[in-house]
Structure 1
């Protein structure tokens, strides 16, 4: 807050207090054992150790089979042979290998000891690959039981052999079983154990063939019997005659599908002359009292495969074991006054694990009609059916964070406090600056009525109230004179200060204070923030936290010279969002042409990053991939607008609220939409290499994407008019300027001067809501960001990064459509020239081969289609994929 300058002498501190502040206990660094255990490098080292151990044991045991006669006498002596130089062994792994193999083969499990090597191999592979390639627990179960079963079996089978096939443990257990059960009983027990182990591990299927018998009418039985004697092939397709007079009832046999299920009843159908009818399927969206689906078939019997297909289309499961034999004949009383088309009969297909389906069978235009109704849950027949809308209304609101319910937000202990957060006020410095300002203004006959000072982390704001009749422009023109009198760099005059009747003069402090990111994130303003995308950027001059909502900006443009804090500002924004948002609520699209600034965020790929399908890296560094990603974001934007249109919402907040309240149907494509933040670290490089191909999608996203939750953060160190064009500036109302080299650059980024007067090291101006505010950017170091990303990355994430819509470049597609059989006559000459020069340039073909631009361009497209050069890279030459003439000739021969 503002403090009025007063002449006060500093109080002298007591010697005891001085000594207390001078002598501080030295901090000792402690090793974090938990972090060391979770470190990826530790896992890889342990994996290598386990793999080497598996290889060592395998070679030693295999070598024992050939060298056990020579080494057995020495191995019986134990570990004493390790220090006896006169002893020599034949085992490939030396004395240790001889001792270890003797222990495992002779004393332990015999040949079954090889299974132990597989356990060490599985553990080593899992640790090296940093993912679960094999199941360790399942392998441990198999190895434990397999070692016991195999060792006892080998000891029993080869009990008279000189070689210890089953080891000492196997011999002991085999002799014990023989003494209790005898040879035959032991053989039976071991055979049972081996069979049980085989079934438990491989789970073989013992399915007997089942002969499907068709269900026919009594009239057709005799005729079918005669046909079986003459034409056996027609068993699979029996002739079924329609019922003419007698009704027939079909009921379940002894093994019913379900106890409370109704029997299948087929009512009589009058035969017609037409031999067959059409098969149609009509589905409705909701299951009501009306039929949800209608089927018409030619016969009176509906095969189970048809019903299974219908249920499968409605996400229902039909057991594969059920056959047509599960339906047999049963008598049923005829209802009174029943007509042929008055009441359809009902075929009940009970549920397996999901809600049941009721299939109604009845005549329809001479065929059978199936009416499928969906029940919300299993209930008695007389209980009223629950409406789907009522069922949805009883469900709790959708919570997206349940996708990763065990996700833990990073803690503030991962951040560090850089220096003292307390602002040092030097009364002598303040008094001296006040006198210099007053003296300089009086030299130009400018009197002031009042002066006050507000001390910030790096800058002090002096507010003056000029005397009556003094023009503000006179004070504004004295900016360089005041800087000269104060001998300070970075004097900035605000005339007048918006919302106040004063003129501000910003003077850098001699002793600057570092603003730590931890201080901002632990503040009550950030912790209790209700913003959609809260970002903590820095502190104002009055030492208040500057925390804003990125969603209300809605896009941010950053510029500044090299080394002035631009990358630190990007990290501060990203870290703020990581501390506040869940992975299901936010995704980042990171573009890093410099390839090193944003690479520290690759650890959180499965949590917060988005990428194109079939891409290996989520952080985009290649210019062509940047263009495809921007166009894919445009497709994502259009898709989201379509969803908002169908939902009747104006923005993403209304849409997600409506989806969480379960008022939108996911079957119609609706889903929870996370925010997407596009971060471009060096925009100038993209404009120089791609130009309009990058500018157009950026401008389109900036104009339209804010309503659907897509926000842009673009940073550049060259804020010139050809980089930051008018189209881009018009759609980036929020801008941040670090120190720039000239007033022209300041006006380009802020539409006002002042950025050239900043002192660097995080000193910045932000233009937001029509106001320019000077801030000291929060400092977050790279090791801190590493800790945060590692903390998030080690947690369970999604199977893959968030996938953007696929985008296919038309130009690349055109290049691939060339017919290699219709090549240019100069194709081979052009290919040899490109390979010799190792430069895929169209202008090179024009100069060396004296061609026009169109023909040279066609040749280059054909070379790309043939796989000799890579895709277009803007103004850069194409990459030459073939390096030597011999390789080129082989490639041309393959092309024919």
Structure 2
């Protein structure tokens, strides 16, 4: 038994024939019996589970734990309802879909991700078809930024070529024949020596639906090319150290050809408040159907509250703490000197890039 700032943690040894699911099924009854806000069950090892008793609604006023579990390509971005940190781990879940209506908290979630990655040896690239209003404040730390569909149509092939060059590097290092298809290469850049390993790239796509909208046949051809390139990055990018963070208000089959295939590759899902149940189903229905109802009950007066799930079927409620745009932009300016040297992305460096500050 161990007291915490939010409640109590108790470890229980299971009786013969019991399993963690038996204890989890009793969590609601235990919550009422003990008069606490929530009881959460976590397996520790075979035969032992931990009960996390939370005495109040920790998502009402978010305070991140001091030991949040960050690290390389790991960003503590929000607080779970069981008072533990939700860590966005790109090595474990390389690609993620973030959905939410206007003023639901998507931008706050994005700010925490960018500021968390800004201090790491990672290249950040962005596609923001709202003329860059969401991602332009972070320009000092971005290696590439596309602010409309035309620029995105040029940036995406460059990223695909960068991915293919990294596959060639893996082949050369491991003696794989150059004619081997990318899909048959099972290793990745993390198997390369650190001196030869290319820097990871995280691509943020804001308002992904803008890439699917077309007004003419010419635009339709460009759209098909961009979607194909996004799908290739989602399918093959992980092994090359390229990760996707795709954001939007709605993301379903009605967007057009390739939307469902792209969504299927985004194994991480974060659903903020949405305008209708079908939007919640687009985010969570295919991985955690029972989470759809929880997403539909998010109140407008609680921005930043979201339901997060993954392809394992697990889900939980999280809430992102407040981070002002000015503070996030300042963090990116302080870390501008960490922008890695990627020659392929130099033509896409934001024009508003300020002079990098030397390290303190």
TM-score, structure 2 normalization: 0.70
1:737 aligns with 2:271: yes
Greater relative contact order: 1 or 2 (C-alpha under 8 angstroms, separation 6 or more)? 2
Distance of 1:592 and 1:454 partners within structure 2? 50
Given candidates 778, 781, 784, the residue that maps to 2:321 is: 778
Distance of 1:698 and 1:640 partners within structure 2? 17
CA RMSD of aligned residues (A): 3.6
Q: Deviations over 1:744-787 (max 9, x none)?
A: 21111111213111234111111134311111123211121122
SS of residue paired to 1:450: helix
Mapped contact 1:454–1:542 kept (Cα < 8 A): no
| 1:452 alignment counterpart | 31
Distance of 2:33 and 2:253 partners within structure 1? 36
Cα gap change, 1:692/1:2 in structure 2, threshold over 3 Å: closer, same or farther?
Answer: farther
SS of residue paired to 2:306: strand
Given candidates 124, 127, 142, the residue that maps to 1:588 is: 124
Distance of 2:267 and 2:244 partners within structure 1? 12
1:53-202 paired onto structure 2 within 5 Å: none
SS of residue paired to 1:610: strand
Distance of 1:738 and 1:688 partners within structure 2? 23
SS of residue paired to 1:552: coil
| 2:172 alignment counterpart | 646
Distance of 2:228 and 2:143 partners within structure 1? 21
| 2:342 alignment counterpart | 802
| 1:788 alignment counterpart | 331
Mapped contact 1:572–1:779 kept (Cα < 8 A): no
Structure 1 residue 702 displacement after superposition: 0.4
Distance of 1:646 and 1:570 partners within structure 2? 36
1:570-609 paired onto structure 2 within 5 Å: 570-579=110-119, 581=120, 585-594=121-130, 595-604=132-141, 609=142
Structure 1 residue 721 displacement after superposition: 2.7
Mapped contact 2:76–2:86 kept (Cα < 8 A): yes
Mapped contact 1:678–1:711 kept (Cα < 8 A): yes
Mapped contact 2:78–2:319 kept (Cα < 8 A): yes
Given candidates 501, 524, 527, the residue that maps to 2:67 is: 524
1:470-619 paired onto structure 2 within 5 Å: 512-515=60-63, 519=64, 523-526=66-69, 529=71, 532-579=72-119, 581=120, 585-594=121-130, 595-604=132-141, 609-611=142-144, 619=145
Distance of 2:126 and 2:345 partners within structure 1? 16
Mapped contact 2:146–2:152 kept (Cα < 8 A): yes
Distance of 1:707 and 1:629 partners within structure 2? 20
Mapped contact 1:2–1:542 kept (Cα < 8 A): no
Structure 1 residue 511 displacement after superposition: 9.1
1:695 aligns with 2:227: yes
Mapped contact 2:59–2:319 kept (Cα < 8 A): no
Cα gap change, 1:640/1:449 in structure 2, threshold over 3 Å: closer, same or farther?
Answer: closer
1:756 aligns with 2:290: no
Q: Deviations over 1:131-163 (max 9, x none)?
A: xxxxxxxxxxxxxxxxxxxxxxxxxxxxxxxxx
**How many equivalent residue pairs?**
288
Structure 1 residue 547 displacement after superposition: 1.9
1:183-582 paired onto structure 2 within 5 Å: 450-452=29-31, 460-461=37-38, 512-515=60-63, 519=64, 523-526=66-69, 529=71, 532-579=72-119, 581=120
SS of residue paired to 1:524: coil
Distance of 1:603 and 1:632 partners within structure 2? 20
| 1:714 alignment counterpart | 246
Structure 1 residue 586 displacement after superposition: 1.1
> Higher helix proportion, which one?
1
Structure 1 spans left out of the alignment, 5+ residues:
4-421, 425-447, 464-496, 612-618, 661-670, 808-896
Distance of 1:454 and 1:653 partners within structure 2? 49
Q: Which has the larger radius of gyration?
A: 1
Cα gap change, 1:722/1:450 in structure 2, threshold over 3 Å: closer, same or farther?
Answer: same
Structure 1 residue 652 displacement after superposition: 1.0
Mapped contact 2:59–2:79 kept (Cα < 8 A): no
Mapped contact 1:537–1:573 kept (Cα < 8 A): yes
Structure 1 residue 559 displacement after superposition: 0.3
Mapped contact 2:78–2:320 kept (Cα < 8 A): yes
TM-score, structure 1 normalization: 0.30
Structure 2 spans left out of the alignment, 5+ residues:
8-26, 176-186, 348-360
